[in-house]
Amino acid sequence: MMRVKMTLVCLTALGMLISTAGAAPYWIAWEGNDFPENEGWTREYGDENGHGQGGAVRSIEDGSLLLDGRRHPAIYDSYTMSRAVDPGSGEMFIMRWRLRVDEVSVHEDPIAGVFSDESWAVAFQFSETSAISTFETNNGVDFEPGVFHRFELRSWDMRSYELRINDSVALTGDFVHVFTASEVAWGDGAVGSASLSVWDYVEFGVVPEPGGAISLGLAGAIVLTKGRRNTYDNGKG
């Protein structure tokens, strides 16, 4: 079984806790205008020299984050936010991201996932052509390589989920009980594989349960128009 070093394993709280499930709907959006750690996320990174060393070569290009960890398979560079995430009665949790995976060696490397307030988790790891559910067995889906795809994770109870790709339901499954709670994580997450990925945006929150147009409209209304600027990071922290 492959060793997954995600942020999904060793996570740092940001002190951004709110009340438990049943809180008012919320929406958090990173839109690719700056490195995530400058917008409230915690960066977890390392390489063959250990945690906090190196990380991926990163750049912000045309409003997207490029993560290049191809130099060494021990490189990981991912982002977490620690807060209560669960929906209350009549609400739905949504996580969305737009991703293109250009190159992966060995096995799936980029990852995105959520840990519920009661330590139930679902996460997905990506190759150039597919996504697999990290904590489940033999649950995955293929997609067209070489282009961006829009992913949307939905859950009403943080026990089962629906994964949509480009607005169509592509995968369903179940959360798995783990140790970590109240986290959202994404990025270059696995040790033992190298990858090049491009992340256009990542956003998540709790919205009123459908009438679908109401919940999705609320989420869309909160997302700001993306600016465009170029920033470069050579992987030294």
Domain 26-224 fold: Jelly Rolls (2.60.120)
Work out the average pLDDT over 80-108: 94
| Domain spans, the chain | 26-224
Alpha-carbon separation of residue 162 from 74, 153, 174 (angstroms): 31, 6, 9
Which tokens sit at 218?
Answer: 């609320």
Instruction: Measure the CA–CA gap between 129 and 144, rounded to whole angstroms.
Output: 6
User: In this predicted model, what pLDDT tens digit does every residue of 2-56 receive, in sequence order?
Assistant: 334 343 333 333 333 333 434 579 999 999 999 999 999 999 999 999 999 999 9
| Residue found under tokens 């620690």 | 82
237, pLDDT greater than 80: no
Q: For residue 225, give every residue at least 6 positions away whose Cβ sits within 8 Å of its Cβ, in sequence order, or none.
A: none
Contact at 8 Å (CB) between 139 and 132?
A: yes
Which tokens sit at 151?
Answer: 């992913």
User: In this predicted model, what pLDDT tens digit does every residue of 95-148 receive, in sequence order?
Assistant: 999 999 999 887 777 999 999 999 999 999 999 999 999 999 999 999 999 999
User: In this predicted model, what pLDDT tens digit does every residue of 168-215 receive, in sequence order?
Assistant: 999 999 999 999 999 999 999 888 788 999 999 999 999 998 764 444
Which tokens sit at 167?
Answer: 């607005």
The band of 234, judged by pLDDT with boundaries at 50, 70 and 90, is low
